[in-house]
Amino acid sequence: MEVFLYFLKRIIAWPFFPIGLTLMPLLSGIALLLIGRTKVGTLLVSSASVIFVVFSLGWTGLSLVKPLEDRAGSHADPEKLRQIGVRNIVVLSKSRIVPALTPADRWFRTLPGIMEGIRLWSAIPEAKLILSGSALSSAEAMAELPTQLGIPKEALILETRAYNTADEARLIAPVLGSEPFALVSSAVHLPRAMFIFKAQGTNPISCPCDFITKGWPPIYLLLVPCVGGLNNSETALHEYYSLFFYWAKAVFLNLGGR
């Protein structure tokens, strides 16, 4: 059931992302052109082209991502974490069982988060390093890379049941209690992750990594459509939509409880 709901949400959200926003008017416009509705059809096809180009610009993607990364803050200082008594470092990541890949490659795009978690743990070795993989992973596969990099197995807590961030917060919350803990994830994802973990009654400290907007390229490159711009736009929109969803859900639940 959880797998079904996970993919259902993705299907429902698809029309609101750049590709969906482009394809729907494009296909509608082509259909109208074929039946002779030239004026409306041309308008829809032109609109689809403009939408695609705008979301593909490097400037658009980075501009959408930047407010989220600014909200996440800067890299964490492990000494400050130690001073406030942090005893848990939670890394939100994704790992899959793919024997053909190396232990590092199995973490895919979340490898920077794993490395950031290890950096923080190295300065607070008495802390627990809590790694969230995914429901498609295994504890053995997840433990291989950190143990090869010197993290003792007794310092690791591995979560392999989660499908999304809400699952991660719900499943890890009992381990965390109300004590402050380091929450590590990509800077663009951390505002949503912080909101969700706080809603579970935990006390996360933002520890961002994998920044997209630090060191923008020259302006002339930002005004050229590219796959990177499209990907950044979609990543940012996913976070904005999700933040709105969880905010609206919290408001609805509070109103319902009155």
* Rounded mean pLDDT, 64-76: 97
- Backbone φ and ψ for 130, nearest 5 degrees, come out as -100, 115
pTM of the model: 0.90
pLDDT per position as a tens digit, 139-162: 888 889 999 999 999 999 999 888
And the tokens for 3?
């797998």
Cβ of 11: how many Cβ atoms within 10 Å?
8
CB-count burial class (<10 Å; 0-12, 13-18, 19+) for 34:
exposed
Residue from 258, 245, 192, 252 nearest 9 by CA: 245
pLDDT per position as a tens digit, 31-51: 999 999 999 999 999 999 999
pLDDT of 107 reads 87
Average pLDDT, the chain: 90
Q: Which residues pair with 206 in a beta bridge?
A: 183
Q: Kindly tell me if the per-residue pLDDT of 9 is higher than 60.
A: yes
Torsion of CA 96, 205, 186, 98, to 10 degrees: -10
